[in-house]
Amino acid sequence: MALKIFLGDKLVDEADAKVSVFDHGLLYGDGVFEGIRVYSGRVFLHQQHIDRLYESAKAIRLVIPMSPGDLKAAVEATVKANKIEDGYVRLVVTRGAGSLGLDIRKTSHPQVIVIADTISLYPPETYTKGMQLVTASTIRNHPGALSSRIKSLNYLNNILARIEGTDAGMVEALMLNHKGEVAECTGDNIFIVKNKVLLTPGLDAGILEGITRNAVMGLAIEAGYEVRETSLTRHDLYIADEMFLTGTAAEVVAVVGLDGRKIGTGEPGPITKDLLVRFQKLTRSVN
């Protein structure tokens, strides 16, 4: 069945969802986006994603041509129109069409695009057996050049690192920052467990402040676990008792090996398993 896409200010058929070839989102990756999960027909942590989108847009001086409330309603309408029960929303705002060149003053009509569809998840055995990672040689963008907290349409930094992971036979890759510290993976945030304490890079490490990351941190604190945001090196990861990733698609997934080294016992650890169960309960009970 063809999808209904929200484009501009209305729902249109998938075949009619078109933007100008002069849109700076296409020409220069000039725009912002959010990826949001839908569980049982409900948009998960919807307001947090809307807030982050507007913050990203503000950071690049992009004015979204809709109020947050209207945009939230547009997402809900797109999910309903496509009868999505368990799926994914891609919410995009481009700079709009303009002349060839970088001057944002010569652009107009930013485009709002909402796509709601099913999602390809990691296979079930990934959650029972865990995944392997490799460290990419491509480092995370220097925060002085482009803040990782801006979820921009230009994802080439992440893509190049993911290519390295794919070449190594992995579905994800670890990225370090310009200081050689652990930042995040190409599409997920990273945590380790050491002596029953959860450790994760802070925002100053050059990471995206993940919505799922924050939700899992909250669940961990509620469960009585100590959680610390701190600088981490690969050495810290190599000697960790457990390691896991968090992300919109990944949810909570164990990492059992990094760079050919076994992490912990080489199997998903008890705290990782516990947090996955807690997160799955959350997604069935919270908007």
Are residues 284 and 39 in contact, defined by beta-carbon separation less than 8 angstroms? yes
The residues pairing with 7 across neighbouring beta strands, listed in sequence order, are: 10, 113
CA distances from 267 to 127, 241, 243, 248 (A): 10, 10, 10, 22
Q: How far apart are CA 203 and CA 190, in angstroms?
A: 12
> CA of 6: how far to CAs of 10, 189, 194, in Å?
5, 29, 45
Residues 10, 106, 151, 281: which is the catalytic one? Answer: 151
- Cβ neighbors of 166 (< 8 A, separation 6 or more) are none
Dist CA 93 CA 25 (whole Å): 8
**273 an active-site residue?**
no
Q: Active-site residue numbers?
A: 151
